[in-house]
Amino acid sequence: MQLDPALLEHWMNEYYFDTEIDIGSSGVQNFSFAELRNLLQLTHEEIDAVVFQDSATFGDQYLRAAIAERWGDGNPDQVMVTHGSSEAIYLIMNALVQPDDEIIVLDPCYQQLFSIAESLKCRLKRWRLRFNKKFRPDITELESLLSAQTRAVVVNFPHNPTGVSISAEEQKELINVIDKVGAYLIWDAAFGDITYVKAPLPYPNLQYERSISMGTLSKSFGLPGLRVGWMLGPPDLLDRCAQLRDYITLHLSPLTELIALRVIRNADTLLNLRLTEAGQNLRTLEKWVTEHQSIVKWAPPDGGVCTLPQLSSVSDVEVFCRRLARTYSVLLVPGTCFNCPEHVRLGFGSSPKILNEGLTRLSAALRGAA
């Protein structure tokens, strides 16, 4: 198994910790532990009572039940708790696909959603999201890509990095066309709880038995450092994932699971705070794009807190983003990390103050590039 370098992670490792202003990340503003304890009414006594023993391979039973109740059909046997959604992706791909399997992936896409399958010698077909169509997914085009050899279709809606999503009706259509060939649907819902116009989409497990859904506390909940994710899927597939996990991470920390359980039981408290900030920031970003419409083109996001604008005055986005980091101390992600070399990923999940300062510095850098 020979994995390609993770382009996005390499970029973040190089600049995330060495810049003052982050307008490149794809998650909401992070919570501190003090904020969490206050919001969740988590006491010192509860924390002190944690014993650092082994946890269950599939995750704490109460945490699995809370996940199943919120995102599934209430059955915890369909839930496995993971170290972020990144572990879920790794386990699913290794448990589900074999060499020469046909896999359909969105393009652009978060690299881990296809690179692992590619390293396993799968044959990739790319379902292209086109900027001239506002990145809207064309399900008719997907249907033309499907075949009797298709093992799985991999999607993430709302989408990273564009922020585009689909309607509930389109989700049903998506499931129907996949069902015709008997393929699996791998559904990454990392950004699923942050939407602006329509309600969050349900996990497809509620409609389609050959689906595997993933979630995380990293993106919509502002807890990337907690490293908690989950997957909902058929129990037999989860069993295969557990066999793989026995050789790598084994289980989560009991302390992490305690915090995650309280977060999910109080999910709306955290989400409502960050959704309000995200909506305010999106309005700020819309105003900024309008003011720069001669050199900045975009497709407004349906959900999540990132978008993939095109900078028409920039000839080399990677050079520009490096200069932005080194000269202006601003993190922005070049579209080369997503096979979109004319674009950048712009994240607007930070505090309003940070976003405004980041956009001000970005404007100055664009004037310099022009």
The DSSP string of 337-349 is GGT-TTBEEEE--
CATH 3.40.640.10 in the chain: give the residue spans.
43-266
pLDDT of residue 78: 96
Do 129 and 108 meet the contact criterion of CB atoms below 8 Å apart? yes
- The first and second tokens of residue 222, run together, are 């502002």
> 7-32+269-369: what fold?
Aspartate Aminotransferase, domain 1 (3.90.1150)
Identify the pLDDT of residue 3. 85
Q: What are phi and psi of 106, to 5 degrees?
A: -70, 155
The per-residue pLDDT for range 103-118, each reduced to its tens digit, is: 999 999 999 999 999 9
Spatial contact of 185 and 153, defined as CB atoms under 8 Å apart: yes
Q: Residue 118 corresponds to which amino acid?
A: E
Closest of 52, 58, 70 to residue 270, by C-alpha:
70
**CA-CA distances (angstroms) from residue 364 to 46, 145, 327, 334, 359?**
49, 43, 11, 17, 9
Q: What CATH number matches the domain at 43-266, 3.40.50.300, 3.90.230.10, 3.30.70.3340, 3.40.640.10?
A: 3.40.640.10
Please state, in angstroms and rounded to a whole number, the distance separating the CA atoms of residues 269 and 276. Answer: 11
Measured CA to CA, the distance from residue 233 to residue 238 in angstroms comes to 7
The reported pTM is 0.94
Q: For the beta carbon of residue 106, count every other beta carbon within 10 angstroms.
A: 25
Residues of the chain with pLDDT below 70 are 1, 370
